[in-house]
Amino acid sequence: MASGDGGRANWKDPELHKLFIDLCLKESTENGKNGGSLKKESWDRVRVALNKEKNVNLSKKQLKNQWEYLKSKYGEWSKIISKTGNGYDPVTNTVNWSTEEWSEYIQANPNAKQFRYTGLQYANELQALFDGVRATGRFSWGPSKEGFPADGTLSQSQSETYINLDTGSLETPSSPNDSAKPDSKRQKKNKSDELDKQLLEALQTLQNSDGPTIEECNRILDEMELFDMSGPLYIVACSIFCESKAHREQWMLLREKPQAVRKGWIQLNGKKLGLL
């Protein structure tokens, strides 16, 4: 079979997505890995099997890019799960943190926003596939690697150098009158800095509390496999998610409800919005 011309990969197709993970896991289990990826022969077998089963024509490069993407997602998810008292609920596949806890965590880890309302799909399979392996290439770079990422750029977290000085161990000469002469300018500056910090934190909290995104709702819809992607109800559902934050929040609340309830909600809202 030809090596594939790299036709468009629809990784939102749940069957294609799951088949790729299963094939990679089979090769990893039976034949091992080469560093942080599959061996060359394994990639050839995955490509042939995937293209034949799904009648697609994906290249090896596309498969490797998807591998790195999933590895990056698993790395972000594993950081959440490894936290002490992570609040993970395996029944709903969500992390039960308060809004404040999520806002604080997302502020420090922006890529974690994708797991605000739902956990990592196929987490067990991805753990078996990637556990102990960090993302490589353009998805990650760390001090253990030599040189720079392949694209020649560093993210903000990669380009910063942190220096921790324990000022408590430093002694400064002082005069007997120092304690009696407060530095009013420094006090005013500290108050101003503190106010700026509080305002910034308030703005960031507002930015991180917009509720579920359209992308998150679409991902849940794809994972549920309620409708054929080419059918009218799938398009109606996607349109409903664009209506308002309230619609998206209600959809997320229904994700654990029976299938008939979810379908009925989409049909009812589709009629109310004139989409059906």
pLDDT of 86 higher than 50: yes
pLDDT of 72 higher than 90: yes
pLDDT for position 186:
63
**Confidence tier at 241 by pLDDT (50, 70, 90):** confident
pLDDT of 188 higher than 70: no
Distances (CA, A) of 117 to 37, 89, 251: 30, 12, 11
pLDDT of 62 higher than 90: yes
pLDDT for position 191:
65
**Confidence tier at 94 by pLDDT (50, 70, 90):** confident
Contact of 25 with 128, CB cutoff 8 Å: yes
pLDDT of 143 higher than 70: no
pLDDT for position 2:
42
**Confidence tier at 172 by pLDDT (50, 70, 90):** very low
Query: Other C-beta atoms within 10 Å of 114: how many?
Result: 18
pLDDT of 257 higher than 90: no
Q: Which of 11, 59, 64 is nearest to 34 (CA)?
A: 64
Contact of 63 with 43, CB cutoff 8 Å: yes
pLDDT of 207 higher than 70: no
pLDDT for position 155:
37
- Give the end-to-end CA distance of the chain in Å, rounded to a whole number: 45
Low-confidence winner among 75-84, 152-161, 226-235, 266-275 (lowest mean pLDDT):
152-161
Of the two residues 104 and 169, the one the predictor is more confident about is 104
pLDDT for position 68:
94
Average of per-residue pLDDT values in the chain: 75
Contact of 63 with 20, CB cutoff 8 Å: yes
**Confidence tier at 254 by pLDDT (50, 70, 90):** confident
Residue 146 parent element (H or E): none
Of the two residues 38 and 219, the one the predictor is more confident about is 38
Of the two residues 92 and 170, the one the predictor is more confident about is 92
Q: Which of 3, 90, 93, 10 is nearest to 44 (CA)?
A: 3
pLDDT of 64 higher than 90: yes
